[in-house]
Structure 1
Amino acid sequence: MPASWAATARIKRKKMLIPLYTPRHFRGLSTWHISGWRIKAYGISAHASEKDQFLQPELITAARSFVEANLSRMEVTPHYSAGFVVLHHGSSAKTLLTQWWVNECVCMQFAAQSDYSGQPSFSFTKSDLMACAHELVAIGFERRAWISTVMSGRPMEAYLESWLPHGLY
């Protein structure tokens, strides 16, 4: 490791608490049809119960608008016009992960966040954010769905009809 990187790492190192894992509510929102793309949208909520409104409609609308406004990032890759998003109203931010399938078995991603409170306004993350432990549940399911459908010779429709069941994860 370069000396300058090691020095930077020591400067930024601090004691961080690790919270206990608490399952969160997951729900498939819908398939978004945007300019020929089919994007499966998942929601995760740190706060909703089965009886509560799951995610605020304006949060879902803002997420879809952000994906649509940034479709050009996806269009420049050789793609299958299929992917998924994970919209997570977590305990400290609103996160939007947009993934799409390219080159047979590669999943591309861009990540955006909005402040925890107030009206949602997504912008690209300034760090190398991949996903939190909760978001990896949906990503892991989508990986398995891609392999068991498209990569097993089944039609794209089979993949698009495969959803992580609603529930606590």
Structure 2
Amino acid sequence: MTVGERPLVYAPRAMVALAPYSLRGWTVKGYGISAGRPRPPRRVLDAARVAVEHTLPAAYDHEPSCAFSVVHEDDDGCYVVVAWWSRNKVILHSRTWLCGWDDLPAWTPAPAHATACVWELAAIAHERDAWVRHVAAPATPDLDAYLASSRAGVF
């Protein structure tokens, strides 16, 4: 996925886990990916929170509301995948946003129903496995274990 629709060549990139935070009744886990440095800078992470806040629906009544975001900066701009778990605990909703470096945080929907790139999918895959292991499958969900589970490294 690119802002300028130029082809990309795969090379491993660093992904960092960001501390979970609360937003309007949601607990949001986060990841940061950068094409050119160890992690996205604070201004990119702050801009991504705008997309998260704009995307998440009202939190669920009497049930945990859990979401995650994957912030990814590349030479041509920034991307944010915002995903949240449904009330029934087995459906993941998502929205992907992009913006250019000159218009942070003017996020626009990703074109052509794009979901995520190969780097962002590493975080999404981890979140799926952690959600099943700690929330969807056990008779007694362990949200603390889910929130503590993250993935970082080079992917």
Check whether TM > 0.5. Answer: yes
What residue in structure 2 maps to residue 6 of structure 1? none
Relative to structure 1, the CA distance from residue 158 to residue 76 in structure 2 (aligned partners, 3 Å threshold; closer, same or farther) is closer
* Partner secondary structure for residue 127 of structure 1: helix
* Partner secondary structure for residue 118 of structure 1: helix
Provide the C-alpha distance between the structure 2 equivalents of 1:130 and 1:19, rounded to a whole number of angstroms.
Answer: 16
Structure 1 residues without counterparts, runs of 5 or longer: 1-15
Q: CA deviation at 1:17?
A: 8.4
**What are the residue-to-residue correspondences of 1:108-147 with 2, within 5 Å?**
108-115=93-100, 117-121=101-105, 122-147=107-132
* Contact 2:25–2:59 under 8 Å retained in 1: no
TM (norm. structure 2) is 0.83
Larger Rg: 1
Instruction: State the one-letter code of the partner of 2:36.
Output: H
Q: CA deviation at 1:18?
A: 5.9
Instruction: State the one-letter code of the partner of 2:118.
Output: A
Relative to structure 1, the CA distance from residue 163 to residue 76 in structure 2 (aligned partners, 3 Å threshold; closer, same or farther) is closer
Candidates 82, 101, 113, aligned match of 2:85: 101
Candidates 70, 73, 80, aligned match of 1:89: 73
* Contact 2:24–2:59 under 8 Å retained in 1: no
Structure 2 residues without counterparts, runs of 5 or longer: none
What residue in structure 1 maps to residue 30 of structure 2? 41
What is the number of residues matched between the two proteins?
Answer: 146
TM (norm. structure 1) is 0.77
Provide the C-alpha distance between the structure 2 equivalents of 1:107 and 1:134, rounded to a whole number of angstroms.
Answer: 18
Q: CA deviation at 1:66?
A: 2.3
